[in-house]
Structure 1
Amino acid sequence: MTRRSGHWAVGVLMCLLLMGAAVLPAAASVRPAGAVSAAVSGAAGVGSASPEVGARTGVSAQAGAAGSPGWRAAEQYSNSGTLEFTVSSVTPQVVTASSGNVLTIRGSVRNVSGADVTGLRFRLQRGAALPDTAAVRKSLVEPATDPTAAIGPFRPFAAAPGAAGGADQPSGGAVAAGQQVDFAVAEWIGGSSGLQITSPGVYPLLLNVNGTTEIDGRQRPLRLGELHLLLTVTAVPGQADGKVLQAKQSVPVGLLWQLSSRPHRGVQGYFLDDQLAAEISAGGRLDTTLRAIETSALPGAVVPVIDPMLLDELAAMSAGYRVLQGGGNGRPAVQPPLTDSPQPPPTAPATPPQQPAGSDAAGSAAAPVTAEPARPDGADPLRLPEPATVPGPGAAAAAAFLQRITALTRTHRLIVLPTSDPDVQSALDGGVTDAGAQLAALAEAGRRTAAARLGSATGIATEVAVPPGPATTDTLAQYLGAGQTGAVLRRSSVAAGSTVGSSNQVRVELGEGRALPAVLTDAEVGPLLDRALAPAPAAGGAAATPAQTKLAGSNVVPTPSSALNTTVALLAARAVDGDTEPVLQLPSDTVDTRGLAELGDALAALSGADVVTGADPSALLQRTPTTAPRVEPVAEATGAGLNPDYLRHYRDTKAELAEVATALAVPNRPAGSALTRTLAAATAPLLSASLRSDTAPGDAVLATIDGTTAFLRQGVQLRLTQGSYTLASKDAPLRLDITNSLPYPVLVNVTVSAPANQGLTAISPAQPKLIEPGQTAILQLQTSVQKAGRLQAQAQLVSPSGAPWGPPAVLNIRSDAYGALTVVLIAVAGGVLFLMVVLRLWQRWRQRGNPDGGDAAGDAAGGDAVGGDAGRGAAAGRAAAGGDTAGGDPAGGDPAGSDTAGSDTAKAGRPRNSGGTDHTGDVRVADALTPAAPTPGPPPVPAPRADDTTGSAEPAGPAGKER
């Protein structure tokens, strides 16, 4: 062939292909003159194929999701695993009288073998209508490899040149090894050619692709791949008889679609960042979701689930709001601790009014939190500090978005969650003991918010629980206690041993005769809806097994369109069978609103033939049959939850705040209580399930509270003396100084402890001490001391509940009190001294009563030593003073004779007692020190005669010889 003729042939082929692309869509409702079936190359929209999604799974494209029952591979053909299919769209998903008469399948195909393939050709084959749900399920499990009810001719399978989506540039009918190309095929639905469908029903389809590839060095024509689909027809396009699908009962379908966001506000209601403004702006996440709900073709099938926290935040924004400086790039700013001192309020607030986080007040905003109103004494009220902020730009967008949500009440049934949608299961697992009480408070706050923001529309349900994950008995009991009289649960919340069957309406046993009516997600359609609405694969999902990846010899990548194709077929089959089990679905957080739009169109088409109807979860729960299966909840919830470290931080902060609040709760002094209530209000949304993936907003709020409580604790301290404390007696009081540098009055107490061997016991006052702002007060403790000396004890400042307030302080104490042993010794010594004094007094009395005789007892005890010596001393004294008066001459005498004779005479004539002691010399110490009165001497002795030369001496006394 010459080069010119080759160019001419290529040009003709391109013209024919372009004509086919233009003619087929235009002839949707026109019966073709002949059997028109074409491979459409370069058709509009073909290049926008959805990207490949997840692991290869399912034996047919309509299965589309792991978890569908009983999938297995069909008969294998030689090299039939060469091609891998990805279906991006099937149009129409539901064939109706007005949908058009052309079926178009778009997608991409990849050569996953190691050899090039050429000469690709396709044909569409149809089987007979499937009579019931069982037949549909069998077709999903064992798709027919050669349906023969209608078989079209093979036609060239040409790829779309220049297609987007990452496809390589193909050459006509050839796909190199590893190459991916986009494709689009079209076929007539009704009429004498094409699929030749003449009555409503669910039909199996086969896209059979053949081609040539090299085997053993030779080019062989083989079947290289199969793509199985189901075609749901409620009415044949252009058919005059008007036959429609005969549905015995409409299947209730409800798609619970959550409108919520994470917490955005901190203490005092300031916004930590401006991410919410971006989410509600045109093209933002929440805007796109709400627009998909608003434009859904079947409003009754979409049930918006509203978080009241979102309504509160939107109302606060619409009234004018402030954003903390530093909050950006999706990371919230951390508000500084509230450590300012009292100051008068400015005449014009520096920031617009802010509503505290977690507030459910009816107004869109409240004035900045004032710690204390004006007092009767005229003092300025206390105000909490205002952090550095910037004006928020999203006020208008917030007001408009809030109006759009309010408008939903006129067209949709709504479910209102407890405020912030708390993850009760994670909270209970993480040791948050008051999770049930918090849930009850948040549920009541949500009801009030819904009434204030959305009005009293009859379509608003506030009694339906929608846990964010699997729930155990304890968790469901908390919902029941919070006024949630029914629940929509994931099927994973039911214990494996429970007998549920195909029923989706059950009663969950909670023990003690309690049961919670519940609607479970559908085990069969649920995974398909997940795939239809969440094209992104779940992170960490298990890889598909080889048996799941084969589809009649071909690999099929599951996509939203293939999953939706199976969903509508199953719903239609159920309606034909009269199966009225409700299908409620809880989409995951990673939903694709494009999938919602396509699903809404398909459900609307089914609704037109009375195949499906919108489900009202509240009404379904109220009508739960008494014969509904009774099931047990799972014993342990698995799956995603709040971070355990975050929950630990949350618990510790809440406990610390509660202790500080007891100290600041001064009667008739609301300043401190206002502060702690503001801090507590900021913790209300911090158990939100939206914080599972990122706890940064919660961490930012907890950091502000931690800093504030630390400041409050540091402001109240014991002021110790430089030396030691002295206790003068065993029960002397111990006086300690407490300083309060805070701008709030506080109530505190002190405990003092010492080791047992210190002998110190201190009794704290029964009531805590009130310490005024900026003042120092003395706290007096009654003590009991058992011994004297230096002691050491620990003083601990405590809150009114008895919890420690700061670290303990060491007290050095000096005790002057006498202990028991000391007192006993002193008493014994005193008694001995007393007896000695009494004895001496008695002796003295005896002596005065008998001065000559003396004290016989005293003589016996020591007369010689004391009395005798003293007497002799006294006599000697008298001799030295002037001789013996008694022995002298009365007339004056001769001094010399007197001296000699008188002295000797006295010595010779002095009587002695039997013990050799001179009684006249028995003188007491006291008497020796006192001048004695003159006593009469011995009788005078006659003077010797002059002729008596020898002298006559006085005979010696009986005691012995003369000395």
Structure 2
Amino acid sequence: MSSVAVRRTGSLRPSPLLRFPGSLRSCPLVRLPRSLRSCPPVHVFRFLAAAVLLILVATPAVSPRAAAGEPSSAQFLHLQIDRVTPDIVTTTSDAVVTVAGTVSNVGDRPVRDIVVRLEHAAGVTAAPGLRSNLSGNLDQYEPVADFITLAPELQRGEKVPFTLSYPVRAGGQPSLHIDKPGVYPVLVNVNGTPDYGEPARLDDARFLLPVLGVPADPTDTAGTDGAPPVGAVVAPDTTRPVATTVLWPLADRPRLAAGIPGGTTPVRLVDDDLATSLASGGRLDTLLTAADFATSPEVDPDGTVRTALCLAVDPDLLVTVNAMTAGYVVSTTPDGGLNAPTRPGAGKDAAVDWLNRLKALAQRTCVTPTVYAQADVDALARVGDPTLNTAATTGAADIVDQILGIKSVRGAALLGDGPMTERTVSLLAAQGPTVAIAAAPLTASGEDTVALDPRRDAPQVVTAPFDPMVGAALAGAGTDPQTPTYVDSSLTIPLAHDSQVARLQDALGSLLWRGLRPDIEPRTQIVMPPLAWNLRPDEAQAVFTAISSTLRAGLAVPRPLPALIDETLAAAPSAAGRPPAIDGNPRARFDDDVISGIGSTTTRLSELTAALTTDQQTGLTGPQYTAPLREDMLRALSQTVPPDARNGLAQQRLSTVQRTLADLTGAVTIVNPGGSYTLATERSPLPLALRNDLPVPIRVRLHIDAPPGMTVTDPGEIELPPGYLPLRVPIEVHFTQRVAVDVALTTVDGMPLGEQVRLSVHSNAYGKVLFFITLTGGVILALLVGRRLWHRFRGQPDRADLVPPTRPVREHRPDPLDTALAHAPDDDTR
């Protein structure tokens, strides 16, 4: 029974519920409208009810029907590959390939007569076949042997294991019929009969089987007359090895909390996932341990793997881990920010151990930086900020060198996920001579091929392409499979359907394919896994084993990254060309709102940074204080975030930085007195107080909006230290009244700071009138005093001292009381 030949018909058994009433059967159904008019109304009603019932009963049995050779859209069975032995066939490996797996009933009904068989296809001849053979059409597959019955029936939720073992080749017996090295697609097919259905292919699982060398046929015997056996081992062709460069990623999603300026201690993270990732058995520990082990003198005594390997390290990860070594806290809210609540982090010891091991490995291994936070270079070009571009590219190497204490390899720009667009070329060209390592575009020449020859996209930029099929296969391996956005939609395979074992086989097969095809040009290969790769320890070891095997088998030779850069610059055409007319995957494109928001925020941040100076007590500089906020703009454009979530997380980080920037500019302000000032004279200074809550000094200017009649002396540029600064602004007032004076504070370049303050000023100044009145009064007073002194010195009475003439005295009438007392007799005369 062939899985392709079986077709479900969806036939139904007769049911007594579908019998029509006899009176209705008497009505001619062929001419339905006229016959129904001749039938009683009750018959028409019965006919319609029976038709509806027929549709309801028939639909469940027909809906899961699948076409021949295609799984049903309603999933009944799921086939999973659990083990492939050997994962790489060599001349010394086992000559029998064993595939073990599990078939599970994931549908809504029992499935009967479950059978499986192994199928195989011819070796892959073109790079796109590394993907196209893993999905879609089955015409290229042929059965290895007949179907094998697994179970007579499988109820819902039940599963049954299987094991299929066949020789790589065996004359006259079922085998994979592999007679030369290559990469071969293999398929496990499962058929069954769902309840209410008919036999059909219900699922399949595919993977790639790399064959470095064909082992001897176990059924073959020595030829006649002492001739070698017909089925002797077949070694690979090593006459044209592939020059291989392996970029091993050490990167992670941005973990530093957004909106936290420099100098803030302890450092804040958005979550504590890095504590797990850096600890033993974690993702970053696995990647570092695998690279350390594969390049150790015991495992790699001649340094072959170490020569081909270069660690691609994200500066943002180093900054984060280095900060964790001093202790850190974790934000308990998703958006973080300056005032977000926190809890202590648990990964300090793991960060110290991981960073020390990386420093030791970096002393003997090539290290090159990635773009900071793996920011999308095309999106950076759309933002158009030169400072941000420099921080993302050329400035990244300085951070790696400073933290690891090494001299990293420069001159290469690693574009992990995005394609090489015209905007990307323009940005890189402004940074100086650069070799851009990016995914190659597909070209059509008879059949789809991958153009891997170096090309000069600008006088300063040469692109060294890597095979997108290999990159996509590596990205599909591990516990978090992803499809890079540089992969064409026609070559996308359902990663969620395949098991980790199958995806790892695809990665190994793709990795080894070019070395097994000496007829394929060019004879160079750049191994570029996803930067946020998530492998299990055994998977990381399997990848390094494959790399080591192909190098030691003579299928490949190591090419150090510095040699790749020099050879690419020399091999690229001298005439400047244009990059491919592509604009990236729309699914991964950052929204225009995010791009414009980052552009405006970066401009404001640069204006603020230009006004900040160095605090002499702490040594903190303005650029150091604002650097984390500028780096947040790069983290917002990170390509390690899944495409469907990029814009949402970018907008969240951008909003947090904008709130922090508003807080920083609001922290430098004029203290509002809350009352009014009274000026005693026309030249009384205007007292003010400035406040700076930032940890660094800032250069500011005062802007006083004086009314007519008031002249203000500009105090010029003021360096405002942290804390309070009292000022007395010289003014001159030529009126007497109460007026409102608006005072604003800006940076030296005019960026507003704080809030504008309105002062109520009362002036007692009378101007020139008051001056002349006072002068006249003083002169008169001086003359009067002088005259008195003149007369006193000459002994003459001053006329001012004489009694002035009075009016005539009126007749005095004595007081009656005084008169009575005067005439009273004395006591002596009594």
Task: Return the TM-score normalized by structure 1.
Answer: 0.54
1:591 aligned partner, one-letter code: N
Matching residue of 2:666: 710
Change (3 A) 1:740 1:429: same
Rounded Cα–Cα distance in structure 2 between residues aligned with 1:423 and 1:762: 54
**Pairwise CA distance, 1:230:** 5.5
Tell me how far 1:751 sits from its aligned partner. Answer: 2.9
1:323 matched to 2:272? The reply is no
Q: Which moved more, 1:807-816 or 1:597-606?
A: 807-816
Query: For residues 205 and 293 of structure 1, what CA distance do their matches in structure 2 show?
Result: 29
Could you report, residue by residue, the CA deviation over 1:908-942 in whole angstroms, capped at 9, with x for unpaired residues?
Answer: xxxxxxxxxxxxxxxxxxxxxxxxxxxxxxxxxxx
- Find the partner of 1:488 among 437, 445, 449: 437
Counterpart check, 1:779 vs 2:724: no
Residues 458-504 of structure 1: per-residue CA shift (max 9 Å, x gap): xx423211245436545444444445621212447x999xxx96322
Question: Which aligned pairs between 1:787-936 and structure 2 lie closer than 5 A?
Answer: 794-805=742-753, 806-810=755-759
How far has the Cα of 1:560 moved from its partner? 0.4
**C-alpha deviation, 1:645, in angstroms:** 6.2
| SS of the residue 1:680 aligns to | helix
* Matched AA of 1:738: L
C-alpha distance 488-804 of structure 1, shift in aligned 2 (>3 A): same
Residue 779 of structure 1: how far off its partner (Å): 1.3
Does 1:237 find its partner at 2:215?
yes
Alignment of 1:527-538 (within 5 A): 527-533=472-478, 536=481
Matches within 5 A, 1:546-945: 559-561=502-504, 563-564=506-507, 567=510, 570-577=513-520, 579-587=522-530, 589=532, 591-593=534-536, 595-624=539-568, 625-627=571-573, 630-632=577-579, 638=586, 639=588, 648=597, 652=601, 655=604, 658-659=607-608, 662=611, 665=613, 670=616, 674=620, 676=622, 678-683=624-629, 685-689=631-635, 692=638, 693=641, 707=663, 709-711=665-667, 713-714=668-669, 716-717=670-671, 722=676, 735-740=685-690, 748-753=700-705, 759=708, 762=711, 764-765=713-714, 767-768=716-717, 774=724, 776-781=726-731, 794-805=742-753, 806-810=755-759
SS, match of residue 477 in structure 2:
helix
Does the Cα contact within 8 Å between 1:191 and 1:197 map onto a contact in 2? yes
Please say which of residues 189-198 and 279-288 is displaced more in the overlay. Answer: 189-198
SS in 1 for 2:351: helix
Q: Structure 1 residues 132 and 463, CA, compared in 2 at 3 Å: closer, same or farther? A: closer
Is contact 2:681–2:763 with CA below 8 Å preserved after alignment?
A: yes
AA aligned opposite 2:388: A
| Deviation readout 1:271-318 (Å, 9 max, x if unpaired) | 225654443211223212222333459666654211245445555555
Tell me, in whole angstroms, the C-alpha distance in 1 between the residues paired with 2:131 and 2:256: 47
Check 1:794–1:690 CA distance in 2 against 1; reply closer, same or farther (3 A cut): closer
Is the 1:83–1:224 contact (alpha carbons within 8 Å) kept by the matching residues of 2? yes
Amino acid at match of 1:281: A
- Alignment counterpart, residue 291 of structure 2, candidates 293, 302, 305: 293
- CA 1:272 to 1:139, structure 2 compared with 1: closer, same or farther past 3 Å? closer
Residue identity opposite 1:259 in structure 2: L
The answer on 1:257 being equivalent to 2:248 is yes
Tell which structure's C-alpha radius of gyration is larger. 1
Deviations 1:528-587 (A, max 9, x none): 332235653569999999x9999xxxx988940453375267435533545424243241
TM-score (norm 2): 0.62
Cα deviation, 1:116-145, whole Å, max 9, x if unaligned, reads 654445555667777888999997786556
1:271 touches 1:323 (CA, 8 Å); kept in 2?
Answer: yes
Fraction of identical pairs, as percent: 17
CA contact under 8 A between 2:471 and 2:530: conserved in structure 1?
no
Q: Which runs of no fewer than 5 residues in structure 2 stay unpaired?
A: 1-65, 218-227, 300-304, 642-648, 770-830
**Residues 103 and 159 of structure 2 are in contact (CA less than 8 Å); yes or no, is this contact kept in structure 1?**
yes
Corresponding residue for 2:56? none
Higher relative contact order (CA 8 A, sep 6+): 1
State how far apart, in whole Å, the 1-side matches of 2:604 and 2:619 are: 16
State whether residues 717 and 748 of structure 2, in contact with CA within 8 Å, keep that contact through their aligned partners in structure 1. yes
Matched, 1:156 2:148: yes
Counterpart of 2:215 in 1: which secondary structure?
Answer: coil
Secondary structure in 1 aligned to 2:268?
Answer: coil
SS class of match (2:517): helix
Q: Is the 8 A contact 2:697 2:720 kept in 1?
A: yes
- Preserved CA contact (<8 Å) 1:641 1:689: no
Q: Which residue is 1:436 aligned to?
A: 389
**Aligned AA (2:165):** A
2:817 equivalent in structure 1: none
User: 1:332, 1:697 within 8 Å by CA — same for their partners in 2?
Assistant: yes
Partner of 2:825: none
The corresponding residue for 1:520 is 465
Range that drifts further, 103-112 or 417-426 = 417-426
Q: Distance in 2 between matches of 1:686 and 1:431?
A: 16
Aligned equivalents of 1:246 and 1:597: distance in 2?
25
The answer to whether the 8 Å contact 1:485/1:517 transfers is yes
**Is the CA contact 1:120–1:174 (under 8 Å) kept in the aligned structure 2?**
yes
Structure 2 residue aligned with 1:279, among 277, 284, 291? 277
Within 1, Cα distance between the matches of 2:391 and 2:498?
48
For the residues of structure 1 that align with 2:564 and 2:235, how far apart are their CA atoms?
28
Cα offset, 1:255, TM superposition: 4.7
Report if the CA contact (8 A) 1:439-1:478 is conserved.
no
Secondary structure in 2 matching 1:272: strand
The SS at the match of 1:767 is coil
Q: Which residue of 2 aligns with 1:348?
A: none
Cα deviation for residue 214 of structure 1 reads 8.2
| 5+ long unaligned stretches in structure 1 | 1-72, 159-171, 338-386, 823-963
When residues 621 and 776 of structure 1 are mapped into structure 2, their CA distance, relative to the original with a 3 A threshold, is closer
Q: Does the C-alpha gap of structure 1 residues 749 and 737 become closer, same or farther in structure 2, counting only changes over 3 Å?
A: farther
Give the C-alpha shift of residue 739 in structure 1: 1.6
Shift of 1:110: 5.0
- The equivalences for 1:377-396 within 5 A come to 396=349
Aligned pairs for 1:6-405 within 5 A: 76=69, 85-109=79-103, 118-124=112-118, 147=142, 152=145, 154=146, 156-158=148-150, 172-176=151-155, 180-192=159-171, 193-195=173-175, 199-202=179-182, 213=193, 231-238=209-216, 242-261=233-252, 262-264=254-256, 267-268=262-263, 270-273=266-269, 276-295=274-293, 303-311=310-318, 314-315=321-322, 321-324=326-329, 327=330, 396-405=349-358
Q: How many Å separate the matches in 1 of 2:509 and 2:764?
A: 91
RMSD: 5.5
CA contact (8 A) 1:467 1:489 kept: yes
In 2, Cα distance between the equivalents of 1:409 and 1:315?
15
Shift of 1:244: 0.5
Aligned partners of 1:249 and 1:578 also within 8 Å: no
Q: Could you tell me how far apart the structure 1 residues matched to 2:307 and 2:266 are?
A: 37
8 Å CA contact 2:88, 2:210 repeated in 1: yes
1:7 aligned partner = none
Give, as a single letter, the amino acid of the residue that structure 1 aligns with 2:292.
E
How far 1:415 moved relative to its partner?
1.6
